[in-house]
Amino acid sequence: NAGVTQTPKFRILKIGQSMTLQCTQDMNHNYMYWYRQDPGMGLKLIYYSVGAGITDKGEVPNGYNVSRSTTEDFPLRLELAAPSQTSVYFCASRLSGDQPQHFGDGTRLSIL
Amino acid sequence: KQEVTQIPAALSVPEGENLVLNCSFTDSAIYNLQWFRQDPGKGLTSLLLIQSSQREQTSGRLNASLDKSSGRSTLYIAASQPGDSATYLCAVRKAVGQNFVFGPGTRLSVLP
């Protein structure tokens, strides 16, 4: 049982480049989330989804986009990378409201 | 707006000590609270989930308590071990359909 899988694990981008961070889960969870974690800070919610075809903004959505075409996958897209988007990105999922969140191992992204 | 704080930011203790990690939140109207562990370079692992109707949850050497009225939760670790060294984060959720708000974490070092 793989749980939540994120790819790539590391990436360096140049300013203005675009990329997609991949997240997939094999637990048939309805809810999926994207967070960013900056040094010494808690996790900030970027986007979330309560099911296939449904997405919504979190606390810090600017500069990002998401889609949820299937239950398993929840990719996060950066269109025009900026240095402020240098961070560690975590994807998470959970089955329903009372269940704990399960996290992937993160993607470490540097924008130079 | 819910704010979550964790004090201290970092803690070092000798092996074998019992210790308490603190989590405070500004809005006492919460649905549940979750404690996580994060190892360096890894995602978050769920430790304990406390529903608003509960006062505490236990798992092995870990015990988490919740006092909603005072806006506080504590994570008690008994007989600490070097393997307990990690960052511990708490997160609170206001309602079943809402998302977690995370604290910044306490970085714990257990010295052999």
Q: Model confidence over B80-104: pLDDT tens digits? A: 999 999 999 999 998 877 788 999 9
B73 in reach of chain A (CB within 8 A): no
* pLDDT digit string, tens, across residues A16-55: 999 999 999 999 999 999 999 998 788 999 999 999 999 9
**Contact between chains at A45 and B100 (C-beta distance less than 8 A):** yes
Please give the Cα distance from A62 to A66 (Å, whole number). 11
Mean pLDDT of B7-16: 95
Does position B54 have pLDDT exceeding 70, yes or no?
yes
Does position A87 have pLDDT exceeding 70, yes or no?
yes
pLDDT, position A1: 62
**Contact between chains at B103 and A103 (C-beta distance less than 8 A):** no
Optimal mutation site among B99, B101, B106, B107, interface A, most CBs of chain A within 10 A: B99
Q: What is the mean pLDDT of chain B?
A: 93
Mean pLDDT of A76-101: 91
Contact A70, A52 (CB under 8 A): yes
**Contact between chains at A58 and B99 (C-beta distance less than 8 A):** yes
Q: Is A42 helix (H, G, I), strand (E, B) or coil?
A: coil
